[in-house]
Amino acid sequence: MGHLGHRPQFHPLKHGFDEWFGSPNCHFGPYDNKVKPNIPVYRDWEMVGRFYEEFPINLKTGEANLTQIYLQEALEFIRTQHARQSPFFLYWAIDATHAPVYASRPFLGTSHRGRYGDAVREIDDSVGKILSLLQNLGISKNTFVFFTSDNGAALISAPKEGGSNGPFLCGKQTTFEGGMREPAIAWWPGHIAAGQVSRQLGSIMDLFTTSLSLAGLNPPSDRVIDGLNLLPTMLQGHVMDRPIFYYRGNTLMAVTLGQYKAHFWTWTNSWEEFRQGIDFCPGQNVSGVTTHSQEEHTKLPLIFHLGRDPGERFPFSFASDEYQDALSRITPVVQQHQMSLVPGQPQLNVCNQAVMNWAPPGCEKLGKCLTPPESVPEKCSWSH
């Protein structure tokens, strides 16, 4: 699971979870435990090991048992909750398809898609085992399952460790459809008919509100909640017309409203990065759209029709009637959004090597506490 935040205040058990197995960051590494420590894996409050140490990942062969470990944790959690007759919420955040991509030995080399395909096959197999357990325990009709991804395929890792965004433009790190648009599957036998397709525009933020609704709760009323309850969509086929706002940092890059998408800023990555071979849009180039400088279009946004042009290749002519019509619909929605926005406290602005997992709770029991460097808080530098 990516970037939960590694500081103590971001610990899942401080955010409503009763149990946790996993890591506060992705499985980057290996590190030397001198300049940087390897990233720890936790059970509840304490670390139980580190990636590349107790939780090995062979970068050369791509072999790692992590998906199998996460699968067993999920199955065990479900069995325990079922035995207790407890309702439960499981957030199963596997990361095998994040570079460095890994799979366990039975899956390595089994796909036509290389290591990335092997990882997808293992995830697919694992999801199947979780669904089978729910059915075997007789609780599938009481269990809502939602499957999706937090971003489009990271094409910087393609072709060996990256997926494909099909017809969509660019990949992860951008606000083009390839970076932001993901498939999602909702499963709830007896409630959601198999094989239905919804065109509802949703966001992962909707899962918060939707989960509350499933639990019979209302979202807190003391703040603006961006997420919508998707149950009317999934159960009754309702489609709600709502905008989705695309940000990079504090910059509103784009908005989607119905089939229209307006870009207020275009940027892939810097010329400097691009010239080093870092490419968020390999093989793709839309003139004036996949720009390597940050181009402002706030006065006259670039507008695409995602139905006819899902690949964002053909911006409307500014002079066309359809452009003027789309803009007249988008403008008030964006104004309303910007007027009602309450800026949050940036969570990723302070970097400090001293707080980076040197001696997480529990390290002393394992004899794995490392000595942190001197504490030097700095403004983080985010290259993208």
Contact positions toward a second copy, by CB under 8 A?
111-114, 116-117, 158-160, 164-167, 169, 199, 259, 282-286, 305, 307-314
Cβ contacts of 279 within 8 Å, gap of 6 or more: 155, 156, 269
Would you say 2 or 159 has its CB closer to a second copy? 159
User: Shortest Cβ distance from residue 178 to a second copy (Å)?
Assistant: 10
Cβ proximity to a second copy, 19 vs 309, nearer residue: 309
Q: Give the count of beta carbons closer than 10 Å to the beta carbon of residue 37.
A: 23
Output the DSSP codes for 131-178.
HHHHHHTT-GGG--EEE--SSS--GGGTTTS----TTSSS-TTSSSHH
Cα–Cα distances in angstroms (integers) from residue 40 to residues 19, 74, 108, 148, 282, in the given order:
16, 19, 25, 25, 33
Taking the complex as a whole, how short is the minimal distance between the CB of residue 305 and a second copy, in angstroms?
8
| Closest distance to a second copy from the beta carbon of 266 (Å) | 14
Minimum separation from the CB atom of position 259 to a second copy (A): 6
Supply the minimum distance, in Å, between the C-beta of residue 283 and a second copy. 4
CB of 161 to a second copy, least distance (A): 10
Phi, psi of 123, rounded to the nearest 5 degrees: -65, -45
Instruction: Report the alpha-carbon distance of residue 40 to residue 374 in Å, rounded.
Output: 20
Nearer to a second copy among residue 227 and residue 310 (C-beta):
310
- Nearer CB in complex with a second copy: 87/128: 128
Please, which contacts does 241-246 make with residues 24 or more away whose CB atoms are closer than 8 Å?
242/201, 243/330, 243/333, 243/334, 243/337, 244/201, 244/203, 245/337, 246/175, 246/180
Alpha carbons 319 and 199: distance in angstroms, whole number: 29
Q: Which is nearer to a second copy, 67 or 284 (CB)?
A: 284
Nearer to a second copy among residue 220 and residue 283 (C-beta): 283
